Amino acid sequence: MTDEMNKDQSNRPTDPAMPDPRDRDGDAARYEAMLEEARKLRGVSLGKDAWRQLRKNRVAMASLIFLIVLTILSAFAPLIPFQPPRLVDMSRRFTPPTITLNANPTIVVDEGDERLDASLDEGFGELGPVSNFMLHIRVKIFGNWAIPSICGTDNLGRDILSRLFWGSRISLVVGLVATLVSLIIGVSYGAIAGYLGGWIDNLMMRIVDVMYSIPFIFLVIFLMSILREVDLSHLGLNEITLFFLLIGAIYWLTMARVVRGQVISLRNEPYIEAARTIGAGHTRIVFLHLVPNLLSIVIVYLTLTIPRVILFESFLSFLGFGVQSPDVSWGLLANEGLKVITPVKTLWWLVVFPGIALGFTLWALNFLGDGLRDALDPKLKNK
């Protein structure tokens, strides 16, 4: 009995502070099990979680798919065998929607490169190098064949379907460029005003209030009437580019107010105080700490601003102060359609198809904005 007790005591560690090896093996096994369980649990980033929530919204996903398809078709319109949007053919004037293609060739492809380039310039106008390259590939693939006038023709015999897709390039670009300009100005202005506060904030917001009191439509019409008479080609600006920038320069006011309110609620948060403690400057705090935490709100407002800008551009083009012929946009198409509609003869396709294109795009952008708002809102995360 004494020998067994001595043997048992000899197996124990002499130092009481030293852990028992058997206990150490058990802890290692438990830690290994906990580590294995942790490997199975994967965290989800905010972006992935928002995407998962957005996919549950069928209307928002359908809107996103529609916008992606529309953007792809608009970007690659030179590759698609549409009829030349500027080609005038009075023999096909006011042709109703049909699936019978005119027998006359729309593009000359068998009289040399110079004749081909002249034909493309006549039917498509001056294009950039990328669009021109895609157009030549389209000619090599499809030749003279083009999609029938399934949406009819206008008063000059031009194909409505082709003009819809070529016009969507301008309508979508003006929405994106003008919204990007308003985003840069509005986010910077609102973030600086909200962060600095005090009399600077009051002064900057009073400027916004004064600009809000100016009717945007009359301002744009006035500026476009003046700037049309000024040659800005030496600055690399044409009338359409100037139109894009001008619309964006007047749509930043609401964005500035939204961002300012959010910055005021975040500027005293602990992570901002920590940034100040380590010596971060005002510019670093505003643009590297505050603005990234506003991206969810900015993205949602962005999707709601794009349709407003597109609608505003269409309205100005409808009034004759926006995109001018021979360029084409959805608003200009609707304006041209209304000019030729009379009580004697209703040429419905001249207004219906541009209205459908504009309406579906605006609906899709608004539905997508609502879906993004729900997906990015943490209060609705578990609902």
- The answer as to whether 132 is a domain residue is no
Rounded to 10 deg, the angle between the 349-376 and 160-196 helix axes is 30
- The answer as to whether 33 is a domain residue is no
Q: How many domains does the chain have?
A: 1
Per-residue pLDDT tens digits for 292-309? 888 778 887 787 788 878
Which residues of the chain carry a pLDDT beneath 70? 1-27, 38-46, 100-119, 121, 227-228, 230-239, 342-345, 377-383
- The answer as to whether 58 is a domain residue is no
Distances in whole angstroms, Cα of residue 304 to Cα of each of 106, 181, 310: 39, 15, 11
Contact 305, 182 (CB under 8 A): yes
Which residue reads 């390259």 in tokens?
Answer: 133
CATH number of the CATH domain containing 261: 1.10.3720.10
- The answer as to whether 288 is a domain residue is yes
Mean pLDDT score of the chain:
77
Spatial separation of the C-alpha atoms in residues 289 and 276, rounded to whole Å: 11
- The answer as to whether 112 is a domain residue is no
Question: What Rg do the C-alpha atoms of the chain give, in angstroms?
Answer: 31
H/E stretch holding 275:
helix 270-277
Contact 29, 331 (CB under 8 A): no
- The answer as to whether 342 is a domain residue is yes
- The answer as to whether 229 is a domain residue is yes
Show the domain range for 264.
Answer: 160-380
Which residue pairs from 354-358 have beta carbons closer than 8 angstroms and sit at least 24 positions apart in sequence? 354/160, 354/164, 354/167, 354/330, 357/164, 357/168, 357/330, 358/171, 358/310, 358/311, 358/314, 358/330, 358/331, 358/334
- The answer as to whether 329 is a domain residue is yes
**pLDDT for 103:** 46
Per-residue pLDDT tens digits for 246-260? 777 777 888 888 889
Token pair for 176: 């994106």
Sign of torsion over alpha carbons 325, 331, 334, 335: negative
